[in-house]
Amino acid sequence: MMLRTGMLVAALGLSGALLAGCGDDGDDQAKEETSQSSSQQEAQSASSGSDSQDMASSETADSQGSEKNASEGGGDPVNLIFGTGGTGGSYYPIGGALKGVFEKSDLVDGVQVVSTGASVQNINNIKDGLNQVAIVMSDVAYDAVKGQNQFEGQPADIETIAGMYPNVVQVVATADSDIHSIADLKGKRVGVGKVGSGVEQSAAKVLESANLSYDDLAQVSHTGYADSVTEMSNGNLDAAFFTSGVPNSSITGLMQSTDVTFVPVEGDVASTLLEKYPYYENYEIPAGAPERYNLGDAVDTVAIRNIMIVPSSMRDDVAEDLAKRFHDYLESDNVSVGALKQFDPATMDKNLVVPVHPGAEAFYETLSSSDDAATDGDAANAGDDSDLSEDTASMPANEQAATTEADGAEAKPAKQTSAETPKDNAEPTQNSDTSGGENAQDKEPQS
């Protein structure tokens, strides 16, 4: 009995020892598992935190990138309202022609061309945010930027996309009036354009530069083109001012019935005018150009350029693309408005009195770079030709002849044309833009 009891106690003791051993191992394993779990959670937490931080950094970078793109001019396509002029003038058809040109841009959603009161209203509309593109005369734009005359104390924040065709000051006198200079207008009967028109403004400034005023004239007639021509034909006017593109159909019509003289604006008169009013520039009406009156002698005069303007706030990328597309259009064979054929696209950024928009300026810089590269290439080719000539010189005569003949077959000079004086020797065609018939460019200036 005692033996059984002892054996039972021993068995219970061994079992307790075993249970105690198992209990220690379980605690250690649990602690280890707990530790591992904790470590894993910490790692996951750290990883999660790192991912969150990376995501936050990425979002910040994206945000900064978007802000950078915005600051550099990137953005959604824009809609443009194009301010022009009256439907009978030159600005409106130009706007219609450029609508399709500009709408091909991925940066432009649409273009709405609107008829306006021209230069002054166009600038005011841009100031008020009603127009995003407009055509204006340089004299009005100059006053707007300076905040003077009709823009007194209210300067306009505008910039130029491109210089365009000139409005040329054309002073025409009857041949029997003995008028050969601006000074000769003294004591004569002169048509100076409608009151407040661009024609009258030019007439007053030209007379002023010759130390003349309306008081020095025998008669001042505020007549438009058609009426001035009628009065000159009837012998009631000795001379008249016309400020328009060349040719002016009213002048062409007058020349068919009346002998006339083109009065130059030159010498001290021109110098004084250009010095006081920097928006004027020298201009020559060429001789022997059938589509430009077919004059026997060239006539020196002055002109005011029309320009395409935008608000200074326009995005750089949009302004750059507008300038590029306008330039490429002018270089194409698709130009449908006669006025746009009256200037060289290479002068679009030259001699402007309103600052060029930085975006447009970036485009013009690419043109300059291309021209420089072409010049360098021509110089390099010339050097290569020189080297070739030296090599050829040492050849026998029959080999030289063969080489020269082969070179001649490959090198055919390209025909060159000038956009500034397009086809001066070409015969005008009926209903063509340069035939001297009624066209938009010779309407009264839309200032």
User: What are the tens digits of pLDDT across the range 211-228?
Assistant: 999 999 999 999 999 999
**Does pLDDT of 401 surpass 60?**
no
What's the distance, Cα to Cα, between the start and end of the chain in Å? 135
244 backbone dihedrals φ, ψ, rounded to 5°:
-165, -175
172 backbone dihedrals φ, ψ, rounded to 5°:
-120, 135
> What are the structural domain ranges in the chain?
145-365+436-442
Q: Quick one: which of 213, 208, 237, 215 has its CA closest to 225?
A: 237
Q: What integer pLDDT is reported at residue 374 of this predicted model? A: 59
Of residues 138 and 415, more confidently modeled: 138
Using a cut of 0.75, tell me whether the model's pTM lies above it.
no
State the Cα–Cα distance between residues 289 and 211, nearest whole angstrom.
33
Q: What integer pLDDT is reported at residue 89 of this predicted model? A: 83
Task: Tell how far CA 38 is from the center of its chain.
Answer: 68
**Does pLDDT of 169 surpass 80?**
yes
**Does pLDDT of 209 surpass 80?**
yes
State the Cα–Cα distance between residues 379 and 386, nearest whole angstrom.
10
Q: What integer pLDDT is reported at residue 328 of this predicted model? A: 97
Q: What integer pLDDT is reported at residue 197 of this predicted model? A: 84
Q: What integer pLDDT is reported at residue 62 of this predicted model? A: 40
Task: Provide the pLDDT confidence category of residue 170 given band limits of 50, 70 and 90.
Answer: very high
**Does pLDDT of 189 surpass 70?**
yes
**Does pLDDT of 106 surpass 60?**
yes
**Does pLDDT of 440 surpass 90?**
no
339 backbone dihedrals φ, ψ, rounded to 5°:
-60, -30
Q: What integer pLDDT is reported at residue 60 of this predicted model? A: 38
Of residues 68 and 257, more confidently modeled: 257
Residue partners of 66: CB distance under 8 A and separation at least 6: none
**Does pLDDT of 414 surpass 50?**
no
**Does pLDDT of 246 surpass 50?**
yes
Average pLDDT over residues 232-237: 97
State the Cα–Cα distance between residues 269 and 321, nearest whole angstrom.
40
Say whether 305 sits in a helix, a strand or coil: strand
Strand duo 219-221 + 299-311: pairing: unpaired
**Does pLDDT of 388 surpass 90?**
no
State the Cα–Cα distance between residues 392 and 400, nearest whole angstrom.
6
**Does pLDDT of 86 surpass 80?**
yes
Average pLDDT over residues 159-181: 97
**Does pLDDT of 129 surpass 60?**
yes
Task: Provide the pLDDT confidence category of residue 196 given band limits of 50, 70 and 90.
Answer: confident
Q: What integer pLDDT is reported at residue 307 of this predicted model? A: 98
**Does pLDDT of 41 surpass 50?**
no
- CATH class name, domain 145-365+436-442: alpha beta
Residue partners of 428: CB distance under 8 A and separation at least 6: 290, 291, 434, 435, 436
Query: Contact 106/77 with Cβ under 8 angstroms?
Result: yes
**Does pLDDT of 355 surpass 70?**
yes
Task: Provide the pLDDT confidence category of residue 368 given band limits of 50, 70 and 90.
Answer: confident
DSSP state of 215: G
- Burial class of residue 210 in the structure, from the number of CB atoms within 10 Å of its CB (0-12 exposed, 13-18 middle, 19+ buried): buried
Q: Which long-range contacts (CB under 8 A, 24 or more apart) does 95-101 make?
A: 95/135, 97/329, 97/335, 97/336, 97/337, 97/340, 98/326, 98/329, 101/325, 101/326, 101/329
Average pLDDT over residues 153-177: 97
446 backbone dihedrals φ, ψ, rounded to 5°:
-100, 55
Say whether 75 sits in a helix, a strand or coil: coil
Q: What is the pLDDT of residues 256-296, one digit of tens each?
A: 999 999 999 999 999 999 999 999 999 999 999 998 999 99
State the Cα–Cα distance between residues 31 and 43, nearest whole angstrom.
18
Q: What integer pLDDT is reported at residue 75 of this predicted model? A: 86
Say whether 214 sits in a helix, a strand or coil: helix
Mean pLDDT computed over every residue of the chain = 77
Annotate 318-373 with DSSP letters as a single string.
HHHHHHHHHHHHHHSS----GGGGSS-GGGTTSS-SSPBPHHHHHHHHHHHHHHHH
Average pLDDT over residues 398-415: 39
Q: What integer pLDDT is reported at residue 371 of this predicted model? A: 64
State the Cα–Cα distance between residues 202 and 198, nearest whole angstrom.
6
